Structure 1
Amino acid sequence: MHIAYLTPEYPHEKISNGGGMGTSIKNLVEALVELGHEVTVFVYGQAVDAVFVDHKITFHLIAQKKYQLGGFYFYRKHIEKYINMNKGSIELLEAPDWTGITAFMNLQLPLIIRFHGSDTYFCHIEKRAQKFKNKFFEKKAVSRANAFIAPTNFAGEKSMELFNLPKDKLKIIHYGLELEKFNNTHPDTYEKYRLLNIGTLIRKKGVFQLIETFNKLVEIEPKSTLVFIGADSGDVQTGSTSTWELMKEKMTTNAAARISYLGKIPYNEVQGQIKKAHVCVFPSLAETLGMVTIESMALKKAVVNTDIGWAQDLIDHGVDGFMYHPDDIDSYVTTISRLFNNRELVKELGENATQTIQNKFDIKKNALENIDYYKLVLNL
């Protein structure tokens, strides 16, 4: 097949944005190419227009354009025109739900939308008001899709419900990892008492709950350290331009002395940071799956995770990780302290976690699921 993906991000040195969604697309695209399929990636919102081929993948960078009025409409029409002009032998286009980028587009290709996490979904999960414009764009975009894919049951079913879409058009296919790239040959080697959190510093990731957790933990385990990795962001609730600055205000003196913020680091350095961690902790309030959770599990790490909805597809509580609501601070403190002092439990969780990833999140298996579904949508 020849499949195309429309995305605002993709981890590549020539592309300006890369995040969890981009990583999941990259993993899938590379697996499809390995299976012999042809792939084109259209990346919008870029600094310049460019076309290049890398690892048998054709990339089209579509520069961001500015308009005096109606940019939300005219830029989408520009993307539409570009894709239609360059569709060649492409049989199907997949696009994300975020911002309803395909709203107003009349594409000359069947369209599948993958629920990476729309503004509609996140506003509902976080119980915050949504701008009418965002809801309108996303609703219009999904109304034009032929079918839908979601990475977890919760994210898929909730998205279909919010957009009032027929559930028979939904397929659940987990994100996947290239497992051969996730090897931890020395899982017993790590920095004792080191906690790690990876992700954009934003309220919905549970960063304030994690600070509260660490404030208590450091009083119990004074040798504890906490490392944050990820880009800083503004805070919608307060209007602050820096969530990190707000986080610092919540730290006790003892906690602040034991917390490090490394900022956003190159993707190829993240694994090393995961391997150094004693425990990885992700108390997120809003995700569709959470790539960093499955990456940490693949590297045989003990993970203490959120328990909200989507997490039920990832972890069997007490077997291959632990799950608690982000507001259940005491359970996080108790469990992390227990892991700090039980080397065998850390090892057991890590071994079980890796087995779970091999069984459910192998990108080679998941790529085949995607192809089967694409063919079903196309009636092939």
Structure 2
Amino acid sequence: MHIGFITSEYPHPKVKQAAGIATSIKNLAVALVKKGVNVTVFVYHQNESGIVQDEGVKIHLIAKQTYNLFTWYFHRKFIQNYVNQVVLRNNIDILEAADWTGITAFMRLKAPLVVRFHGSDAYFCKLDGRKQKFKNFMFEKLGLKKASAYIAPTTYAGVETQKIFGLDKTKIKTIHYGLQLEHFENEFPDVYNRNTILYIGTIIRKKGVLELAEIFNKVITRNPEAQLILIGGDSSDIKTGESSTYKLMEDIFSDKAKKQVNYLGKIPYQKVKEHIRNAHICVYPSFAETLGMVTIESMAMQKPVVNTSIGWAQELIDDGINGFLVHPSKIDDYSNQILKLLKDEKQCSQIGKAARQKVELLFDIEKNAEINIDYFKSILKA
């Protein structure tokens, strides 16, 4: 079998961008290659074109094109033509793309298309309570309607996307993202920096970072030793027009809290893993995810996680057993849960061990790659 992924991001030094989508695609791509599947990745919107190999995966870099008019249409057709040439030349059996921006709208591809719900603009607008631009909605709907089948990383994401776009629910299968678990070992889970609270993710309103600032203000009043470390790129704020969401966080932090906050921005991934290993607890108070890779990465490294209580997170964490679920708008409840964990190292250890077991059960990429292969085969037989 030969599978092609169409994406705007992938973890490689020559690729412009790599975030959660990129990580999940690479984890799957590498696992598929190990199982004897040929994998080609088409990464569009790049600075220059080229072909590189990485861990058995062939990566086609497709340079961004500009046109005087209707770039949104002609660029898609350019990607379509490029992909189709490689599909025919290399006998690619099936293609996969993301729902975000509806990149496959207007494309006529030479292989069956599967769309994975990494999170459409429509999905996030619904969770955020924002109005979506009609053009963006139509692009995403057209892209989805062209697919032969769909994959959702959580049942919640599948149900919500199905309702938004009126999709055939029988064509949606839930397959969780997975981790290469050997890359997330923690030999000494009881060795960490006490009172260190870690957040990883874009500094953006929908991730609950403004609520996190309020939560930390509460924490610091009762635990002056607490420290908050933030890792991730800053973003503009859609509601206020502020160019920096971190600036909005700074306006919320109390004077005491500001002294105990360390914002590191974007850092190399190996250093991110070190920060997870060194953290006392990890917090992800997001309002909008499809799954949340950093949550399962933190759980894999035996960290107690305080997550959101919204839909998708209930499929990752069993509240009170292998993590905690608190709605980010409940500032007192969220801060109280953090404070309890900072005081109780025995509970942190128990939760961390149970978290690792949950990840091994549901998010092992070796197991989930087999589920993907079987599903791809079923689509080709249909």
How many pairs were matched up? 380
TM-score normalised over the length of structure 2: 0.99
Q: Is 1:86 aligned with 2:86?
A: yes
- Structure 2 unmatched runs, 5+: none
Q: State the SS of the aligned residue for 1:44.
A: strand
Shift in Å at residue 191 of structure 1? 0.7
* TM-superposition CA deviations, 1:243-269 (whole Å, max 9, x none): 111111111100011001000011121
* TM-superposition CA deviations, 1:112-132 (whole Å, max 9, x none): 000000001000111110011
Q: Which residue of 1 aligns with 2:245?
A: 243
Q: Is 1:128 aligned with 2:114?
A: no
* TM-superposition CA deviations, 1:9-41 (whole Å, max 9, x none): 011111110000100000000000010110000
* TM-superposition CA deviations, 1:151-203 (whole Å, max 9, x none): 00100111011110110000000000001111101111111110000001000
Q: State the SS of the aligned residue for 1:223.
A: coil
Q: Provide the C-alpha distance between the structure 1 equivalents of 2:54 and 2:269, rounded to a whole number of angstroms.
A: 18
Moved over 2 A (4+): none
Shift in Å at residue 314 of structure 1? 0.2
The one-letter code matched in structure 2 to 1:25 is: I
Q: Which residue of 2 aligns with 1:165?
A: 167
Q: Which residue of 1 aligns with 2:105?
A: 103
Q: Which residue of 2 aligns with 1:370?
A: 372
Q: Is 1:44 aligned with 2:47?
A: no
TM-score normalised over the length of structure 1: 0.99
Shift in Å at residue 96 of structure 1? 0.2
Q: Provide the C-alpha distance between the structure 2 equivalents of 1:52 and 1:342, rounded to a whole number of angstroms.
A: 48
Q: Which residue of 1 aligns with 2:54?
A: 54
Q: Provide the C-alpha distance between the structure 2 equivalents of 1:53 and 1:281, rounded to a whole number of angstroms.
A: 36
- The counterpart of 1:118, out of the listed 113, 120, 126, is 120
The one-letter code matched in structure 2 to 1:214 is: F
Shift in Å at residue 362 of structure 1? 0.3
Q: Provide the C-alpha distance between the structure 2 equivalents of 1:182 and 1:221, rounded to a whole number of angstroms.
A: 30
Q: Provide the C-alpha distance between the structure 1 equivalents of 2:262 and 2:165, rounded to a whole number of angstroms.
A: 40
Bigger Cα displacement from structure 2, 264-273 vs 21-30: 264-273
- The counterpart of 1:283, out of the listed 285, 291, 295, is 285
Q: Provide the C-alpha distance between the structure 1 equivalents of 2:243 and 2:32, rounded to a whole number of angstroms.
A: 39
CA RMSD of aligned residues (A): 0.7
Q: State the SS of the aligned residue for 2:104.
A: coil
The one-letter code matched in structure 2 to 1:156 is: G
* TM-superposition CA deviations, 1:219-277 (whole Å, max 9, x none): 00000000000011111111111111111111110001100100001112111000111
Q: Which residue of 1 aligns with 2:201?
A: 199
Q: Provide the C-alpha distance between the structure 2 equivalents of 1:337 and 1:52, rounded to a whole number of angstroms.
A: 48
Q: Alignment identity in percent? A: 51
- The counterpart of 1:321, out of the listed 320, 323, 335, is 323
* TM-superposition CA deviations, 1:292-325 (whole Å, max 9, x none): 0000000000100001000111000000000011
